[in-house]
Amino acid sequence: MSTGVPSSPGLPGARPSRGFGWPRDVTSAERKSLIAGGLGWMLDAMDVMLYSLVLTYLMREFSMDTRTAGFLNSLMLVASAIGGFIFGILADRIGRTRALMASILVYSFASAACGFSHTIPQLATFRFVLGLGMGGEWTTGAALIAETWRAEHRGKALGLMQSAYAIGEAIAALIVLIVFPRLGWRAVFFVGVLPALLVLWIRRGVPESDIWKNRSATQKGNWLNLLREKIILRNSLLATAMNASSMFGYWGLFTWIPGYLSLPVSRGGRGLSLVVGTTFYLVLAPGKWLGYVSFGFFADAFGRRKPYFTYLLIAGILVPLYGIIRNPLWLLLLGPFVAFFGTGFFSGYAAIASEIFPGEIRAAAMGLSYNIGRGLSAIAPFAVGAIAARFGFGPAFFLLAATFLVAALLALLLPETRGRQLT
User: What residue segments make up the domains of the chain, in order of their start?
Assistant: 28-203+223-421
Q: Of 351, 214, 245, 241, give the one whose Cα is nearest residue 292.
A: 351
At 216, is the secondary structure helix, strand, or coil?
Answer: coil
Integer CA distances (angstroms), 418 to 149, 162, 226, in order: 13, 18, 22
Q: Beta strands of 119-238 (E only): which ranges?
A: none
User: Which pLDDT belongs to residue 315?
Assistant: 92
Write the DSSP symbol of residue 6. Answer: E
The pLDDT score that the predictor gives to residue 155 is 80
Collapse the DSSP code of 220 into the 3-class scheme (helix H, G, I; strand E, B; otherwise coil) and give the result.
Answer: coil
pLDDT at 218: 45
Count other C-beta atoms under 10 Å from residue 8's C-beta. 12
Given this model, what pLDDT does residue 5 score? 37
pLDDT of residue 14: 44
- Residue-level pLDDT at 2: 40
Segments of the chain scoring below 50 in pLDDT: 1-18, 217-219, 221
Look up the CATH number of domain 28-203+223-421: 1.20.1250.20
Q: What is the per-residue pLDDT for 4?
A: 41
> In the prediction, which pLDDT does 404 show?
93
Distance of CA 230 to the CA centre of its chain: 28
